[in-house]
Amino acid sequence: MELLNLHRIVDVTAAEGPGVRCAVWTQGCSVRCPGCFNPQTWTTRGGFPLPWPELAARVLAVEGIEGVTLLGGEPFDQAEPLGRFAAAVRAAGLSVMTFTGHVLAELPPSELLASTDLLVDGPFLADRPEPSRPWVGSENQRFHFLSDRYDESIFTTPNRLELRIAPDGGIELNGFATTEVLEALLEGDRR
């Protein structure tokens, strides 16, 4: 099975994990946390199809990135093709960071899990917002260092929010921000 169902790809970002990375959002999430910031990724009917070898070729052509971050949606809903993609880019020297709404103990073995260097697990809990760690939305979510590629020094990375303005005037945000921060940003945009 080669086909991925994807929501979005950002070739270069410094807001979705350690260093500069390519970020890939999958389409479709079976976890469905109340208060999720990406409910548009829940349905499997949206998104766009892409065979994993084409995604790998695109990512490996991007210069200057140290790895790939896989976000959802729920990446493990597509563990088979995404695992092949992750294994391919990792074999080429990139690191793989994967977010999941499941907890690690409940994930069955998969090539995606085996090819992940840094796993962030657990559902988003709207009533337990994360006060300090970068990239995560709630304090229950845990970082698992599944290889020696990363360690706790990543927590010195500041939380970043990237704002891009497209030629058509559309605004794209990367990184995690609370509703209050987003409202303050949008208020500034209206002035």
Site for ligand SF4 in 104-133 (CB under 6 A): 123-124
Task: Tell me how far, at minimum, the Cβ of 175 lies from ligand SF4, in Å.
Answer: 15
User: Any idea which residue has 């704002």 for tokens?
Assistant: 163
136-144: which pairs have CB atoms within 8 A and are 24 or more residues apart? 136/176, 137/37, 137/176, 142/103, 142/104, 143/118, 143/119, 144/104, 144/118, 144/119, 144/120
CA angle 116, 120, 122 (to 5 degrees): 130
Q: Using the rule CB under 6 A, is 31 a contact of ligand SF4?
A: yes
Task: Tell me how far, at minimum, the Cβ of 46 lies from ligand SF4, in Å.
Answer: 13
Nearer to ligand SF4, 88 or 99 (CB): 99
165 φ, ψ to 5°?
Answer: -110, 115
CA angle 151, 118, 14 (to 5 degrees): 85
**Contacting range for ligand SF4; rule: CB under 6 A; set: 8-16, 27-35, 58-66, 166-174:** 27-35
The DSSP call for residue 160 is -
Task: Tell me how far, at minimum, the Cβ of 141 lies from ligand SF4, in Å.
Answer: 9
Bin 75: left if φ > 0, else alpha if -120 < ψ < 50, else beta: alpha
Q: Using the rule CB under 6 A, is 142 a contact of ligand SF4?
A: no
Q: Which residue is nearest to ligand SF4 (CB)?
A: 101
Among 101, 117, 175, 177, binds ligand SF4 (CB under 6 A): 101
Task: Tell me how far, at minimum, the Cβ of 169 lies from ligand SF4, in Å.
Answer: 27
Task: Tell me how far, at minimum, the Cβ of 100 lies from ligand SF4, in Å.
Answer: 7
3-state secondary structure of 126: coil
Q: Which residues bind ligand SF4 (CB under 6 A)?
A: 29, 31-33, 36, 38, 41, 72-74, 101, 123-124
